[in-house]
Amino acid sequence: MFTGAMVALVTPFQDGEIDFQTLDELVNFQLENGIDGIVPVGTTGESPTLSHEEHKQVIERVVKDVGGQVPVIAGAGSNSTAEAIELTAFSKKVGADATLQVCPYYNKPTQEGFYQHFRTIAEEVDLPIVLYNIPGRCGAGMTPETIARLAELENIVAVKEATGSMDQASEIAMRCDITIISGDDSLTLPLASVGGKGVISVVANVVPADVKAMTDLILEGDLVSARQWHKKLFALSKNMLTLATNPIPIKAAMAILNMASDELRLPMTPLEEGKKAVLEQTLKDYGLL
């Protein structure tokens, strides 16, 4: 269930409020383009600046829009275990298929703290969990040993690896059989070479069919053909993460493509004009403009 091309969905805003009409359109766009799974209210969905009520509204709306056609993996993580349990229980209540659980941020738990945090969520709510290991955002990350311990728990089914380390992914694959999913678009194919089974993708917000074409080939074991898609997607994928902090560039791209507003919530600010010109050229080079 948790392999292939999954989109890290943006949360569109209009005049400071969530733009639910555009959210519906974005979900439909993903479904029409054959996406394998939808991941609302993660990093790309600007979960840090949504209120708890808004966070729940987005999960519920996406689940309703998807209507069981593909899995919905709801962002439900927190640096408070009790809060993560609350969001996870809500996700289950409204029909999400799984939750994405980011490593607790700012309070920097020990490895034992990470283990107990995720174990407690898994025991409290009977819903599959995709771990999200992204030390660059969280100040600390899980070791392969901790991930292997967590993989022994029935509910913990996959890990979104956003460490940028091939050695980390290799060691996880060596220690356990948890499903490894890329958290960086530019590393989806390299990760596949050591056992990765897909991506939770930012760039799929604009080119879902292309990301799926690559992950389909990966899952078929045809890494040579997948390399052609990797080369095509690479510059676009890289710009989404290097021009500015995610989701600033993807929202700018979606505005250029008339898919959604580029509105963000502070402390996120719009892409600078000079960088916007670079992004526009990248979209042209790709064939989107």
Establish whether 160 is a catalytic residue: yes
With both helix axes pointing from N to C terminus, report the angle between 111-124 and 144-151 in degrees, rounded to the nearest 10.
20
Say how far apart CA 45 and CA 11 lie, in whole Å: 5
* Selected catalytic residue, list 92, 106, 115, 132: 132
5-41: b (≥16 Cβ within 10 Å) or e: bbbbbbbbbeeeebbeebbeebbebbbebebbbbbbb
Q: How far apart are CA 243 and CA 241, in angstroms?
A: 6
The residue type at 271: L
Nearest-angstrom CA–CA distance, 105 and 228: 36
Note if 132 is an active site residue: yes
CA atoms within 13 Å, Cβ hemisphere of 95: 13
Query: Tokens representing 225?
Result: 């053909």
**Contact in structure between 36 and 69 (CB atoms under 8 Å):** no
Q: Of 160, 212, 251, 276, which one is the catalytic site residue?
A: 160
d(CA 186, CA 225): 16
**Residues catalogued as catalytic:** 132, 160
